[in-house]
Structure 1
Amino acid sequence: MFSRSIPALVTPFAPDGAVDEAAYRELIEWQIAEGSSALVACGTTGEAATLTMEEQFRAVAICVEQARGRVPVIAGAGSNDTRVAAGNLAAARDAGADAALMVPPYYNRPSQEGIYQHFATLAKGAALPILLYNVPARTVTDIQPATLIRIVREFPELFVGVKDASGALARVSEHRAALGPDFRQLSGNDDLALAFNSMGGVGCISVTANVAPRLCADFQAACEAGDYAKALELHDRLFPLHVALFIDASPGPVKYAMTRVRPGFPETLRLPMTWPSEASRAAVDAGLAHAGLV
């Protein structure tokens, strides 16, 4: 269920700030047609931090409805409050998601024991599989390998994989050695996906796939086939875009890029996120041109 190219979908907003359901459905349809293997609804790139709970899980439900079982839907459902996270898991299940993407508690800065206890508590009532999401740059919390291994070994049927955005590539080998190949390791960094896959990863939960779903799907297919010459060619083609999408605060650059590849795509972001700078837009333009997308 969890492999190859999985876009962390942006959430389109109408000019008044409401979720633009029509644009969201069109985005989902395009992603499936272009070869994305699953969809993440309401993750970081989807501006989940500024969605109400009702908006968040309505967006998940829309994604499920539009996907119609053609690809799995993974719902962003994490929280820094264990009780809220448990409620989010239930809401993701009720919305029809196939799995949940869960960060460790952020801001609180729990110990490794606190991280373990958070996920162990969630495991007691979880009704759908969980992909752990380790993104220390945003959460200021790092699920250390020993803690991740402990969580997965204790609840192997529930914690089925990880989106690893730690940037520590050696962890791919460490996790694989302890947990085996069935534990699904997905890169959380587009620019590291080639190296990540070569060490045993099976895909990427991707920002760039919002803009270049076919190229990202082809890249992951080449990796899966062991054709690393083709994968390197595609990586080089996409690399400037991978970098450009993070020159300014995400998801500003990727939403700008969406307006370039899909004219008419909504430009609205919710504060405190803002439209990217002129320099950032120029870098995105250059990246899109290098990839042959404009």
Structure 2
Amino acid sequence: MFSGSIPALVTPFRDGSFDERAFRKLVDWQIEQGSKALVPCGTTGEASTLSNAEHHRVIEVCIEQAAGRVPIIAGCGSNDTMNALLHMNFSKKAGAAAALCVAPYYNRPKQKGLIAHFSYLAEHNDLPIVLYNVPGRTVTDILPETVCELAKKYPKQIVAIKDASGDLSRVTDHRMGIGKHFCQLSGDDELALPANAAGAVGCISVTANVAPALCAEFQAACAANDLARARELNDRLYPLHYAMFEDASPAPVKYALSRLFPEISPAVRLPLVECSDEAKAAVDAALEHAGLV
């Protein structure tokens, strides 16, 4: 259903508020540079610091500005099942192609609770769901058997996964347990190359915020089985993948964007703060290595 380079977009702020003008420019640039879909209000979009009204406005603006040129996977995750459904209901009406739903964080549900959570969402809204597994942030891990059970139970609703577990064996677990039709997207830029080799078809990417054309070309090379070109591009991007996390994300990526686009502020919302001088130096070096500055 989805493939290629899919940036998890930052949410630009200006004077403490959502900078809609800068965001519209970012959306246009991403599409022009070859991104195959867009994700507003994910982790990189600082969704946890947005009010529901802001959250919905960011999704609405993204869909409006994209104007059907690429599909929008709206960030709808929450540790409150009813609030996740609220986001899904809004995103469905706004015209999103799918909902990105992270495993409930903080509550630490067991696998039975995860099945109940995602089942409730699938049964109360027909917007396709992209599961988002990032146990490093949520603590809760959506285990492969749970993914397979949900995908088999709701084949029209639960259509994909963004996997940031760091466990590459899961790509094969999911493919063999569900089938090739189930869309697997890497959630870790630095693991996109081996994930694609194992059967993933793209990446929901942090780095693509800053290097959309390179990330798009990398994914195209993977799809074409051009391993030599994919490896060459991966080597150019590799330091940037790690520089994006030299400080609490998305502070480094916002700093990088501010270097490329002065109209995008590096501001983040508390409890995050702008990245350190050491992180800025790492970002600067990685931008230069990638040939972006």
- Could you state the TM-score of these two structures normalised by the residue count of structure 2? 0.99
**1:246-287 deviation digits (Å, cap 9, x = unpaired):** 011000000000011223322221111110001000000000
Residue 276 of structure 1 corresponds to which residue in structure 2?
A: 275
Residue 4 of structure 1 corresponds to which residue in structure 2?
A: 4
1:59 CA drift (Å) = 0.7
Count of matched residue pairs: 293
1:2 CA drift (Å) = 0.8
Find the aligned partners of 2:33 and 2:210 in 1 and give their Cα distance. Answer: 11
Find the aligned partners of 2:236 and 2:9 in 1 and give their Cα distance. Answer: 21
Retained in 2: the 8 A contact 1:58–1:95? Answer: no
Dislocated runs of 4+, deviation >4 Å: none
**1:149-176 deviation digits (Å, cap 9, x = unpaired):** 0010000110010000000000000100
Find the aligned partners of 1:35 and 1:45 in 2 and give their Cα distance. Answer: 19
Find the aligned partners of 2:60 and 2:87 in 1 and give their Cα distance. Answer: 13
Unpaired runs of 5+ residues, structure 1, are none
- Partner SS state of residue 197, structure 1: helix
**1:5-38 deviation digits (Å, cap 9, x = unpaired):** 0000000011x21101100000000000000000
**Same amino acid, percent of matched pairs:** 59
Find the aligned partners of 1:44 and 1:95 in 2 and give their Cα distance. Answer: 21
Residue 153 of structure 1 corresponds to which residue in structure 2?
A: 152
Residue 83 of structure 1 corresponds to which residue in structure 2?
A: 82
* Amino acid aligned to 1:161: A
Retained in 1: the 8 A contact 2:132–2:161? Answer: yes
1:41 CA drift (Å) = 0.5
1:126 CA drift (Å) = 1.3
**Greater alpha carbon shift after TM alignment, 150-159 vs 256-265:** 256-265
Residue 94 of structure 1 corresponds to which residue in structure 2?
A: 93
1:144 CA drift (Å) = 0.3
* Amino acid aligned to 1:177: M
Find the aligned partners of 1:274 and 1:218 in 2 and give their Cα distance. Answer: 32
1:119 CA drift (Å) = 0.6
* Amino acid aligned to 2:142: I
Retained in 1: the 8 A contact 2:251–2:267? Answer: no
- RMSD across aligned positions (CA): 0.7
Residue 197 of structure 1 corresponds to which residue in structure 2?
A: 196
Retained in 1: the 8 A contact 2:257–2:264? Answer: yes
- Could you state the TM-score of these two structures normalised by the residue count of structure 1? 0.98
Find the aligned partners of 1:157 and 1:206 in 2 and give their Cα distance. Answer: 25
Retained in 2: the 8 A contact 1:60–1:92? Answer: yes
Residue 105 of structure 2 corresponds to which residue in structure 1?
A: 106
- Partner SS state of residue 18, structure 2: coil
- Partner SS state of residue 181, structure 2: coil
